[in-house]
Structures are given as structure tokens and as C-alpha cells.
Chain A
Amino acid sequence: MMVHLEGVMKRFGAMTALRGIDLQLKRGCCLGIFGPNGAGKTTLLRILATLTRPSAGTVCIAGRDAVREAEKVRPLLGVLSHRTFLYGHLTARENLQFYGRLFGVKKLPERITEVLHVVGLETNSHQLVRTYSRGMQQRLAIARTILHYPTLLLLDEPYTSLDHHAISRLQELLLQLRSESCTIIMSTHDLHRGLDLCDEIAIQCRGKIVYSGPSLGIDIQGLEQLYSAYVW
């Protein structure tokens, strides 16, 4: 199992964001988590990313405890958050150089050129990131996410700010990564694209996973019906 969660809870003071999440995901699988705002999707992804400690429960990634052995789990993760994690006063290439050095990526200049090509930013790579549009920043954030060859991608609303062309490129990239045995967990409000990409789907509502199962045999109408039945 690439991801194994058991009874994961998260409380912020009096507020409970996660109420016992159980989840198992095999290597190379793609899981789409759908749910309304405030369902706890981001909190769940942050716990998987070792950025937040769970209040209770166990989180195992690639057979390691993600709380106690977080430093060993982190290099396996590629995290795309609501924010880009980029520095506006550095160029795109400098941002990737910085993260590449932190991760100790081998043959870094070649890898940077490769990921910039994947996200279609090779011609703007010497521009300061603060001069980028929001969509370009998101594309660069995707490049940052895959730079160090992560084996588990955690994507929080990855389609945010992307134009139609960039969404297609991202979709192709994710399909390719999945075919290379990269495990993907993404939260999105875009049921259509999520269903296209994911082989497992989960619906999260009020801090609980209320539905989970394979996407095989479910079409978009079926997913919308499921979503409406569990969320509303």
C-alpha cells in the first residue's frame, strides 16, 4: 500500500475538521476526493503532506509512519497547494534551481529544462515570477511539484487559474505520471475532470469520507447523483 490511513482525526480547538478518516491506496492509483467547501479535503491533504499533525489515528506512506518518520516520507511527496510556494523576486528557473538544490535533484539544469517544457514555460523561464499571471504561476508550481520525481502527488485544486490548454496539458501529464506508477491524490470541485483521471473516487463531507469506490462504471451523471445524494 502506498497510502494507509486509519482513524485519522484533526481538531482545531473546539472545531473538528476530520472525524476518523480511513483510506487505502495502492501504488500507481489515482484518487479523486470531491466534496463541498469546508469538508476537510485540504486538512486531509496537509496531513498526508506532513504539514499538519493528526490529532488521532495513523498515517502511513510507502510503509512509513508519516508522523514519526516525516523526514523520510517528505522526499517522496510532490505537493501542489492553494498557494504556489514560489518566490516572486526569483525567476522561474531560479525558483526551480532553489527547490532542486533542496531536494538534491541530480542533473538539475537538464531536469529544470524538462519540467519547464512540460508546463510550457521554457520561453518565460528567465522572467521574475512576480511578473507572471496567476495561471503561469500555477503552471510553474506544477513544475516545482514534479521536479524531484515524487512517487506520491498531493494536488489540492490543481486546475485553479489554468486556461483550457493548460488544463489539457496537466491532464496529459497526470495520466503519464500515473502510467509511470506515480500515486496521485487530488481534491477538486471539477467532477468531470476528476472522473476522467482517477481510478478511485471518494466523497468527503463534514470531515468524513462518506463514499469511496472505484470510478470504473461510473459516468459523470452517476457521479453527480452520488455527490448530490451524499453531500446535500
Chain B
Amino acid sequence: MSGSKLFIRQVLALLVKDLKTEWRTREIFTSMFVFAVLVIVVFNFAIGADPELIRQVVSGVVWVALLFATVLGLQRAGQMESEEDSLEGVLLALHDRSALFVAKMIAQMLYLVLVVVCSLPLCGIWFRIDFTACIGALGVVFVLGMLGLSIVGTLFSMIVLHTRAREVMLPMLFLPVSVPLTIAAVYATDQLIVGKSLRDITDYLTLIGIFDIVFLTLALMVFDYIVED
């Protein structure tokens, strides 16, 4: 079997395993979704009813919720792999270990997409913001932004997997590195909410795209060394 076929088959096997486990336990999605909704609700109470203030902060609230939900999801996913040292069993079976990275990243991305699909309508209702007017363009920003979060998050979650204080280490590494991506995503979302088009936010999209490409390349290059004992 050729290398690329084997790689794809291994990615699919890992992804199916992760999604099947999640379908049975619903631990990762539930914790991410509940946390994201709680963040939105808490900010809703904190901000008050001023429509102008709400418009100014809503995109920031959504991305902060996603950022912390990502941390929560990655921690649970890492815990699943460290039970019974399953990660080592997987590493022994992989020809190219970056298959594990790609599968974990796709799984994390799918959980984030589900969280956004379920929590954005609630956010719209509570903050009285109509997201449907720019839903297509918002989709582009969210997909690119969440891809970046998934790439960086998966990379750091594997780095901290064997550290003692991984619950603390993951946010300490992940959050500062995600700052450029988050800022660009918040501004891009904000511009779309006030009625701008995708063409108006090209700079932000380019920044997010570069972030995604740089970290994806870096992750694929170093992943083998990261998972080494």
C-alpha cells in the first residue's frame, strides 16, 4: 500500500475511533457546549441591555467562549488517550505519526463546528443580534478561525500530555499563542456584524489564513518529536 493511502486510512481509523467514543460518552461536546453557553450567559448579564455596547463586545464574547471551550475539549480528549496509555499503542501502529495529529485536529474542529452551530443561535437570541444576515461570510471566518484553534490546540495538547500539571500547562501555552488569531477573528466577526462584506475583511482573513498555514506546517514538522518519550 502506498504511503499516502496508508496515511489516509490511519487518519480515518483514528477519527472514527474518536467520534465513536464521543458518540457513546458525549463528554467532550457536552462540556464544550455547556461551557460556551455559560460564558455567553454570564457576559449577557454582565454587559446589560445597552444595544451599542452589546454590538461592540458580542464578537469578542463568542470567540472567548470558543477559545475556552477548545481548552476544555482538548483536555478531555488528552485524558482519553492517556487512560491505559492508549496513545503508546497508537504510536506503535502508525507509519507516519502525524496521522494522529491530523485525526485529532479534525475531531477537535468537528466538535467546535458543532458548538458554534448550537450556541450561535442562542447567542443571537440573548444579545438580540441577527447573525443570519451575514451567515455565509461568518461561516468563512469561523471555519478559518476554528481551524487555527484546532491546529494550535491539538499541537499543544500533545506537548503537555505527559507533563504533570497538564490542566494548567495547556491554557498557559495555548492561550497566548492563539492571541493573534483571536484578535483577527474578533475584528473580522465584528465587521461582518455591522454589515461589511468579506472583501472588507480580507486583511483579517489573510492573517488568520497565514496563522493556520504556519502552525499546520510547524505541527506536521515537529509532531514526531513531540510524541517521542
Binding site for B on A (CB under 8 A): 46, 49-53, 71, 74-75, 77, 79, 81, 83-90, 94, 98-99, 101-104, 144, 148
Identity of the chain A residue whose Cβ is nearest the Cβ of B90 in the assembled complex: A102
A74 neighbours in B (Cβ, 8 Å): 92-95
Binding site for A on B (CB under 8 A): 1, 6, 9-10, 12-14, 16-17, 20-21, 24-25, 80, 83-86, 88-96, 228-229
B228 neighbours in A (Cβ, 8 Å): 53
Assembled-state Cα–Cα distance A114/B225 (Å): 36
Instruction: Report B24 CB to chain A, min CB distance, Å.
Output: 5
Subset of 24 A-B contacts with CB under 8 Å: A49-B92, A52-B229, A71-B95, A74-B92, A74-B94, A79-B92, A81-B85, A83-B84, A83-B85, A84-B84, A86-B84, A87-B17, A88-B84, A89-B20, A89-B25, A90-B20, A94-B17, A98-B17, A101-B12, A101-B13, A102-B10, A102-B14, A104-B1, A144-B89
Whether A46 touches B17, Cβ cut-off 8 Å, given contacts A85-B84, A89-B25, is: no
Contact A104 B92 (CB under 8 A): no
B16 neighbours in A (Cβ, 8 Å): 98
A144 neighbours in B (Cβ, 8 Å): 89
Instruction: Report B215 CB to chain A, min CB distance, Å.
Output: 24
Please name the 9 residue pairs, one residue from A and one from B, whose CB atoms are nearest each other, closest first.
Answer: A85-B89, A102-B93, A101-B13, A83-B85, A52-B229, A89-B21, A83-B84, A98-B17, A84-B84
Main secondary structure of the interface of A (DSSP, over half): loop
Instruction: Report A153 CB to chain B, min CB distance, Å.
Output: 13
Assembled-state Cα–Cα distance A144/B85 (Å): 14
Most-contacted residue by chain B among A74, A75, A98 (CB, 10 A) = A98
Whether A53 touches B229, Cβ cut-off 8 Å, given contacts A85-B85, A90-B20, is: yes
Whether A99 touches B229, Cβ cut-off 8 Å, given contacts A71-B95, A85-B84, A88-B84, is: no
Contact B9 A85 (CB under 8 A): no
Contact B92 A50 (CB under 8 A): yes
Whether A51 touches B92, Cβ cut-off 8 Å, given contacts A87-B86, A101-B9, A104-B6, is: yes
Assembled-state Cα–Cα distance A88/B13 (Å): 17
Identity of the chain A residue whose Cβ is nearest the Cβ of B21 in the assembled complex: A89
Instruction: Report B179 CB to chain A, min CB distance, Å.
Output: 33
A53 neighbours in B (Cβ, 8 Å): 228-229
Whether A94 touches B84, Cβ cut-off 8 Å, given contacts A102-B10, A144-B89, is: no
Instruction: Report A97 CB to chain B, min CB distance, Å.
Output: 8
Contact B13 A87 (CB under 8 A): no
Contact B229 A77 (CB under 8 A): no
